[in-house]
């Protein structure tokens, strides 16, 4: 019987030598592989030449120009710039998305707001009337080296500004199913948060995303994701950052602002039916998160929130593709539910009297939508949005110091909306869409009947879309 | 403490012994590459096929189940030439699997060892959804299968050196049977030479050029573009002068346009498996070509 020390020593030795042995075996294997690759390379070259000669011999003279392929070098492996060398030399893959359209609303879009909710200040609402240019998105992406890839999406706004929508690096070589991402990027929670505008199934985001995240949540930070080595898709992710966007704010402090945790699971029910579901929790802080409203006399008023903001998100997607080809027939059902608790201080007239008191709110919202591809090129969709402005405790109001009308954005409301869309997709690179909304987001009796036309064109690299 | 070390050692030894028995996990994008990997890999490989023959491999969703399969794969076998560009990059990126990144030994593209035809002279999408590297529907020329088999054998041997001998042996055996089958198919199909045919999409080009079928028209006006009524009308006029003998359709195609044309130009449509599993008879690669040729010959009787 070996002594304990000897066993320990053996264990240590094993720990040291195993990788070495592995390396030695690897070396032999890789030498053998190199030799084989060399042989193979010559073989394929000779084969190609032979094939060319046969083609030249057998092809009728007239057909030569068409039938003869260009002599090509035979790369043993794909270049690292992209899939199978689609990029030109080391140029990154470039794609440009152009979008725009026409908007008709029965109510003045200037008065649009989500009743009962603190304004998110994001890209929300139906937009301006008449013809509009949407954001033009320019995306560049490539592998940096064997360890990282990088991607940037710049949005050229109709106001002639350039915004960095996303700019991040991502790891390629972390072991055990981990990937890390850093920079500015859309957070990975929920289903729609990560989806770029050109891939949405409706012209705009659901009201819940507009109310809770100003459209989409992103910040400067880092993300780590882990994918389980199982047949069931199980993905866990964590993020943190500077909290630069609603509902958080930057705080002029070292360290980071809050954390986001998310999980997704997914799989197939049958050959035709696949699904994905997820849950997420965002714990964030806001310092002086100012929001502008108009008081009962029509004068501008700035209120501000300071405190903790915690959001739960639950999402689910189901796709039914009876013929296997999503461009022939597909039904896509999705829904998301969000619930947010905020506790802290609410300041009235932050730039004037600056009264502040305790504030506590618990609000929620959800949407469900279905999009059906009923013919090649044609899709129709139906979406229902609903928000619950929930319970709000405003100390300044409860104590009788101020009337509730001092916070017009927080007047009780019951926003909801119905949207119908129809789109025509002449190819994978173009889409023309019409959308009708019956929009009760304002929460009062002023229903907005909106009609929008939209075009989306993609040029450059062939995009690859997530589920 | 001693017990802990002893059990750790036992676990380590077990862990070291495990990979020797674990089969190489292969994610193949199509049933054809899946079948080929099985021919060469036998019991040493565990193949998962991402798509079925009834799907258009260019248009597939990056489903969560596929991302999960990419996570554990040791090798991805794809066609390449942008055929899978709409979804495979997402799988690889989302998989968190460094072994299957393009450029590494765990990523294999069939197109990288083949000479593709119909390489566009002009990269312009007004010509349809063209592939800059050439026509990627390479599997219907059995000589291409033989070339890919060789390269794939090398790749499997490189990844799983312990079973290299076995792969080489199986590959040799496959090649012998395959070359004999090619000769048989070529002699059986000799009377197809020069027969004028209409195809659906340019995905039967390799089959036509191998068998000498004369591809006179495509139902799709441009790659990836469904035909319009106007275009079909023109096609009828054009084909009335010299009618095709048959209209070739793939199992995954929508047969409507082909059937409409068939009635008007009085040529029968024939549904071909296109990939392994496309018809009940196309159970493996041999069945794929047996059935393709049988079906072509049956309509020409």
Rounded Cα distance between B134 and B209, Å, is 15
The whole-number pLDDT of residue A20 equals 38
The whole-number pLDDT of residue B241 equals 87
The whole-number pLDDT of residue B7 equals 59
Tell me whether residues B112 and A43 touch, CB distance under 8 A.
no
DSSP output for B68-86: HHHHH-SEEEE--TTTTTT
Of B65, B98, B111, the CB nearest to A274: B65
Q: Which residue has the higher pLDDT, B15 or B35?
A: B35
Q: Which CATH class is domain B190-300?
A: alpha beta
Kindly give, in sequence order, each residue whose CB lies less than 8 Å from that of residue A406, ignoring residues fewer than 6 positions away: A295, A301, A303, A348, A349, A396, A397
The whole-number pLDDT of residue A14 equals 44
Give the number of other Cβ atoms within 10 Å of residue A439's Cβ.
24
- Chain B environment of A374 (Cβ under 8 Å): none
Residue B117 φ then ψ, to 5°: -100, 175
CB of B87 less than 8 A from some CB of A: yes
- Chain B environment of A376 (Cβ under 8 Å): 226, 254
Domain boundaries, chain B: 2-114+122-184, 190-300
The whole-number pLDDT of residue B17 equals 45
Rounded Cα distance between B130 and B85, Å, is 12
- Find out whether B28 and B34 touch, Cβ atoms under 8 Å: yes
Token digits of residue B290: 């047996």
CB of A44 less than 8 A from some CB of B: yes
CB of B6 less than 8 A from some CB of A: yes
In DSSP terms, A241 is beta-bridged to A221
Rounded Cα distance between A279 and A139, Å, is 29
The whole-number pLDDT of residue B203 equals 87
Of A276, A377, A462, the CB nearest to B64: A276
Supply the DSSP symbol for A327. Answer: T
- Find out whether A347 and A354 touch, Cβ atoms under 8 Å: yes
Supply the DSSP symbol for B227. Answer: P
Supply the DSSP symbol for A69. Answer: P
Question: Position of tokens 């140029």?
Answer: A91
- Find out whether A22 and B19 touch, Cβ atoms under 8 Å: no
Q: What is the pLDDT of residues B227-253, one digit of tens each?
A: 888 999 999 999 988 899 999 999 988
Q: For the residues B150-170, what does the mean pLDDT come to?
A: 96
Helices and strands per DSSP (H, E), number in chain A: 4, 17
Chain A residue with Cα closest to B52: A324
| pLDDT band, very low/low/confident/very high, at B10 (cuts 50, 70, 90) | low
| Shortest Cα distance, chain A CAs vs residue B107, angstroms | 8
Rounded Cα distance between A166 and A186, Å, is 7
Rounded Cα distance between A142 and B12, Å, is 39
Q: Is the pLDDT of residue B5 over 80?
A: no
Rounded Cα distance between A207 and A384, Å, is 9
Residue B289 φ then ψ, to 5°: -80, -35
The whole-number pLDDT of residue A444 equals 81
Q: % helix / strand / coil in chain B, to the nearest 5?
A: 55, 10, 35
The whole-number pLDDT of residue B201 equals 85
Q: E-strand spans in chain B? A: 24-28, 45-49, 75-78, 107-109, 196-199, 214-218, 246-250, 269-272
Interfacial B residues in 136-195 facing A (CB < 8 Å): 143, 147, 150-151, 154, 157-158, 161, 164
Query: Beta strand B107-109 with B45-49: parallel, antiparallel or unpaired?
Result: unpaired
Q: Let me know if B207 is exposed, middle or buried by CB neighbors in 10 A (0-12, 13-18, 19+).
A: buried
Range B2-114+122-184: architecture per CATH: 3-Layer(aba) Sandwich (3.40)
- Find out whether A380 and A372 touch, Cβ atoms under 8 Å: yes
The whole-number pLDDT of residue A91 equals 83
Rounded Cα distance between A123 and A382, Å, is 22
Crossing angle for the helix pair B142-159 and B31-41, nearest 10 degrees? Answer: 60
| Shortest Cα distance, chain A CAs vs residue B68, angstroms | 5
Of A32, A78, A376, the CB nearest to B102: A78
Candidates B9, B71, B255, partner chain A, best to mutate (most A CBs within 10 A)? B71
Kindly give, in sequence order, each residue whose CB lies less than 8 Å from that of residue A163, ignoring residues fewer than 6 positions away: A135, A154, A155, A157
Q: What is the pLDDT of residues B252-299, one digit of tens each?
A: 888 999 999 999 999 999 999 999 999 999 999 999 999 999 999 999
Residue B141 φ then ψ, to 5°: -110, 110
Tell me whether residues A466 and B62 touch, CB distance under 8 A.
yes
Tell me whether residues A74 and B113 touch, CB distance under 8 A.
yes
Of A44, A179, A267, the CB nearest to B113: A44
Tell me whether residues B115 and A18 touch, CB distance under 8 A.
no
Interfacial B residues in 207-236 facing A (CB < 8 Å): 209, 224-226
DSSP output for A237-270: EEEEE---STT----S-SS---EEEEEEEEEESS
Rounded Cα distance between B252 and B137, Å, is 14
Q: Let me know if A176 is exposed, middle or buried by CB neighbors in 10 A (0-12, 13-18, 19+).
A: exposed
Token digits of residue B112: 């990288």
The whole-number pLDDT of residue B237 equals 93
CB of B101 less than 8 A from some CB of A: yes
Residue A391 φ then ψ, to 5°: -105, 140
CB of A322 less than 8 A from some CB of B: no
CB of A329 less than 8 A from some CB of B: no
- Chain B environment of A377 (Cβ under 8 Å): 226
Q: For the residues B163-181, what does the mean pLDDT come to?
A: 97
Rounded Cα distance between A218 and A284, Å, is 13
Q: What is the pLDDT of residues A351-374, one digit of tens each?
A: 888 899 999 999 999 999 999 999
- Find out whether A251 and A243 touch, Cβ atoms under 8 Å: yes
Report H helices in B85-194: 88-95, 142-159, 164-188
Tell me whether residues B56 and A32 touch, CB distance under 8 A.
no
Distances (CA, A) of B24 to A201, B21, B46, B88: 39, 9, 6, 20
In DSSP terms, A178 is beta-bridged to A226
| Shortest Cα distance, chain B CAs vs residue A427, angstroms | 7
Tell me whether residues A174 and B96 touch, CB distance under 8 A.
yes
CB of A27 less than 8 A from some CB of B: no
The whole-number pLDDT of residue B258 equals 93
Of A84, A172, A465, the CB nearest to B80: A84
- Chain A environment of B93 (Cβ under 8 Å): 149, 170, 179
- ipTM of the shown complex: 0.87
Supply the DSSP symbol for B288. Answer: H
Supply the DSSP symbol for B222. Answer: B
CB of A225 less than 8 A from some CB of B: yes
Per-10-residue mean pLDDT, chain A, length 467: 47 42 48 61 62 53 36 38 52 94 96 93 90 95 93 95 96 95 97 95 97 96 97 97 94 93 97 96 96 84 95 98 84 98 93 89 97 94 97 93 90 95 94 97 90 96 86
Tell me whether residues A275 and B64 touch, CB distance under 8 A.
yes
Token digits of residue A397: 């109001």
- Kindly tell me the sign of the dihedral angle through the C-alpha atoms of A427, A325, B203, A378: negative
The whole-number pLDDT of residue B202 equals 82
Tell me whether residues B86 and A428 touch, CB distance under 8 A.
yes
Q: Is the pLDDT of residue B1 over 60?
A: no
- Chain B environment of A233 (Cβ under 8 Å): 64-65, 67-68
- Chain A environment of B88 (Cβ under 8 Å): 83, 464
Token digits of residue A126: 């139906």
Stated length of chain B: 301
Stated length of chain A: 467
Tell me whether residues A231 and B5 touch, CB distance under 8 A.
no
Rounded Cα distance between B200 and A449, Å, is 44
- 0.90 exceeded by the pTM? no
- Terminal Cα-to-Cα distance of chain A (whole angstroms): 57
The whole-number pLDDT of residue B238 equals 92
Q: Using alpha carbons, select from A137, A268, A146 the residue that is nearest to residue A200.
A: A137
């Amino acid at each position: 019987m070996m002594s304990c020390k000897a066993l320990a020593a053996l264990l240590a030795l094993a720990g040291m030598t195993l990788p070495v042995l592995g390396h030695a075996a690897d070396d032999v294997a890789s030498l053998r592989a190199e030799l084989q690759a060399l042989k193979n390379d010559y073989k394929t070259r000779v084969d190609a030449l032979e094939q060319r000669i046969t083609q030249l011999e057998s092809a009728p003279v007239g057909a030569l120009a068409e039938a003869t392929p260009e002599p090509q070098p035979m790369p043993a492996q794909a270049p690292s710039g992209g899939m199978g060398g689609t990029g030109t030399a080391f140029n990154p893959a470039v794609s440009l998305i152009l979008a725009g359209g026409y908007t008709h609303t029965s109510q003045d879009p200037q008065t649009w707001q989500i009743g009962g909710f603190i304004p998110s200040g994001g890209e929300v609402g139906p937009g301006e009337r008449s013809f509009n240019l949407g954001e033009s998105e320019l995306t560049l992406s490539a592998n940096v080296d064997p360890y990282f890839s990088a991607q940037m999406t710049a949005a050229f706004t109709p106001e002639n500004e350039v915004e960095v929508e996303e700019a991040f690096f991502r790891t390629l070589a972390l072991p055990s199913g981990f990937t890390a991402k850093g920079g500015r990027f859309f957070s990975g929670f929920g289903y729609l948060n990560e989806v770029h505008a050109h891939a949405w199934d409706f012209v705009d985001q659901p009201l819940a995303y507009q109310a809770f995240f100003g459209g989409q949540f992103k910040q400067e930070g880092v993300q780590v994701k882990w994918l389980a080595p199982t047949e069931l898709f199980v993905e866990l992710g964590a993020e943190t950052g500077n909290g630069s966007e609603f509902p958080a704010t930057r705080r002029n402090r070292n360290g980071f602002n809050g954390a986001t945790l998310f999980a997704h699971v997914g799989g197939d029910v049958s050959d035709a039916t696949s699904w994905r579901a997820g849950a997420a929790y965002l714990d964030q802080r806001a310092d002086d998160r100012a929001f502008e409203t108009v008081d009962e006399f029509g004068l501008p008023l700035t209120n501000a929130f300071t405190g903790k903001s915690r959001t739960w998100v639950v999402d689910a997607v189901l796709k039914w593709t009876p013929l296997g080809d999503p461009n022939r027939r597909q039904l896509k059902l999705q829904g998301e539910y969000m619930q947010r608790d905020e506790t802290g201080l609410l300041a009235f007239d932050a730039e004037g009297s600056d009264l502040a008191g305790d504030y506590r709110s618990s609000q929620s919202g959800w949407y469900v939508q279905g999009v059906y591809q009923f013919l090649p090129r044609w899709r129709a969709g139906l979406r229902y949005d609903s928000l619950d402005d929930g319970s709000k405790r405003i100390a300044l109001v409860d104590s009788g110091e101020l009337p509730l009308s001092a916070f017009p954005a927080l007047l009780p409301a019951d926003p909801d909306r119905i949207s119908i869309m129809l789109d025509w997709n002449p190819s994978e690179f173009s889409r023309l869409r019409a959308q009708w909304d019956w929009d009760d987001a304002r929460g009062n009796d002023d229903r907005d009947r909106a009609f929008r036309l939209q075009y989306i064109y993609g040029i450059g690299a062939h995009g690859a879309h997530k589920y | 403490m001693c017990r802990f070390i002893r059990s750790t050692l036992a676990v380590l030894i077990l862990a070291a012994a495990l990979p020797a028995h674990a089969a190489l996990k292969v994610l193949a994008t199509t049933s054809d590459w899946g079948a080929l990997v099985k021919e060469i890999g036998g019991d040493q490989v565990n193949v998962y096929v991402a798509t079925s023959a009834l799907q258009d491999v260019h248009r597939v969703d990056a489903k969560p189940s596929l991302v999960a399969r990419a996570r554990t794969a040791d090798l991805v076998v794809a066609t390449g030439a942008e055929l899978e560009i709409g979804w495979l990059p997402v799988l690889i990126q989302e998989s968190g699997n460094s072994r299957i990144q393009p450029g590494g030994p765990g990523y294999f593209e069939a197109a990288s060892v083949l000479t593709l035809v119909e390489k566009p002279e002009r990269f312009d999408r007004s010509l349809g959804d063209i592939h800059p590297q050439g026509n990627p529907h390479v599997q219907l020329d059995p000589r291409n299968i033989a070339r890919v088999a060789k390269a794939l054998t090398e790749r499997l041997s490189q990844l799983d050196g312990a079973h290299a001998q076995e792969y080489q042996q199986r590959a040799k055996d496959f090649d012998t049977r395959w070359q004999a089958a090619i000769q048989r198919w070529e002699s059986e199909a000799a009377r197809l030479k020069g027969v004028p045919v209409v195809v659906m999409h340019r995905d039967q080009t390799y089959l036509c050029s191998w068998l000498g079928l004369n591809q006179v028209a495509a139902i799709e006006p441009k790659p990836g573009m469904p035909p319009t009524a106007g275009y079909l009308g023109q096609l009828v006029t054009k084909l009335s002068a010299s009618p095709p003998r048959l209209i070739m359709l793939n199992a995954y195609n929508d047969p409507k346009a082909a059937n409409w044309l068939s009635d008007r130009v009085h040529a029968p449509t024939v549904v071909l498996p296109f990939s392994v599993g496309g018809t009940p008879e196309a159970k493996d690669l041999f069945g794929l070509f047996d059935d393709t040729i049988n079906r072509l010959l049956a309509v020409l009787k």
